[in-house]
Amino acid sequence: MTNSGRLIPGDKSAGAVKNHGSYIRDEKWNQVYKNPFDFEYRARVNPRVDLTQATFIIPVRIESEDRLRNVVTAISFLIENFNTNIFVKEVDTVSHFQNRALPKIGKLLGIKLDVPGTKGLPRFRFAFEHSDDPLFHRQKILNEMISTLNRETTVTSNVIVNYDADVVLPLESYTLSYKGILDGVFDVVYPYGQGEYQRKVTVNNDQCRKFIFKKDYSILDNNSEVSTSDFGWAQFFRKKTYIEGGMENENFKAYAPEDKERFYRFNTLGYRVGRIDNVVYHLEHARGENSWFTNPHMESNMGEWNKIQQMNKEQLLQYYSEQQYLEKYVSD
């Protein structure tokens, strides 16, 4: 079962040019009343950053209240700040995203989210797949989303962002990563440094709302602790690179260490992998089997990683050419 959605209003982000007290006039001389709770007003006063050739792909399963808060925060932040494409796919027994997260996002931002939407790829898309499986197979979901985007012809997504629903980055990290790929400098960009660049953030709903509208990162900094960062959270890919490099390895199930394998693979295959030496904010949440070392598939996952990290470029190419799960995406 799938549902598509589109964001209303559209991408009107013309800057304000005249101020008349209770309203502003945009470049087409339309009145836009000064209402900070209205998305259209905010978008015209502070035009969103142009990331139109990127699509953020975000698999979700909302299994706790803090995960719900994080999903609403991360997606609201993207919508508020960027003119881009967002593709959310939820796999669960019921759609908590459509029933709970979407209304919260709409109310928070002062927008209407129309589900279902139009043909092709709208600026915002949501898909739901029913599953009673307790396993959240993130790698398989990502591959399905990449395959969907690869078939699309209505919107050019030259950049695909594998994006965790619990992540926020400094604004400049998004733009630098995006430009690094479009300008031909990199094929893959990790938008954070390696080392003590992680900020583990614990915030409540009110603090999240203030951060979204004020863009005041001190709210996150003052409620976080420094930790290490390596390979997860978010990666910006050239779409062609992501597909040619083998997409996501579906032999990894649930949690760990697929992030290490992805980084090793794209480096070993000779792609230009870059980093932005800046922090990554990880919004903390409850941990279950799909997000911690209690994952019942850990032994199998570690076996896959131990095998792959011994491979050179030629062996990796051969190994991925033999992966049966990739055949269905090639044949699409």
Q: What is the residue extent of each domain of the chain?
A: 6-330
Which pTM value belongs to this model? Answer: 0.87
Lowest mean pLDDT among 64-68, 212-216, 236-240, 256-260: 256-260
How large is the average pLDDT for residues 101-130? 76
pLDDT at 331: 55
What confidence category does residue 300 fall into, taking pLDDT thresholds of 50, 70 and 90? Answer: confident
Lowest mean pLDDT among 18-32, 45-59, 125-139, 169-183: 18-32
What confidence category does residue 27 fall into, taking pLDDT thresholds of 50, 70 and 90? Answer: low
Lowest mean pLDDT among 13-17, 45-49, 182-186: 13-17
Whose CA is closest to 188, among 245, 231, 248, 236? 236
Residues ≥6 apart with Cβ < 8 Å to 103:
none
Q: What CA–CA distance (Å, rounded) separates 324 from 313? A: 19
Query: What's the chain's average pLDDT?
Result: 86
The one-letter amino acid code at 197 reads Y
Whose CA is closest to 191, among 19, 62, 51, 45? 51
Q: Is the pLDDT of residue 102 over 70?
A: yes
pLDDT at 24: 67
Quote the Cα angle for 224-163-149, to 5°. Answer: 170
Q: What is the dotted CATH code of the domain comprising 6-330?
A: 3.90.550.10
How large is the average pLDDT for residues 43-49? 85
Q: Is the pLDDT of residue 290 over 70?
A: no
Q: What CA–CA distance (Å, rounded) separates 151 from 76? A: 27
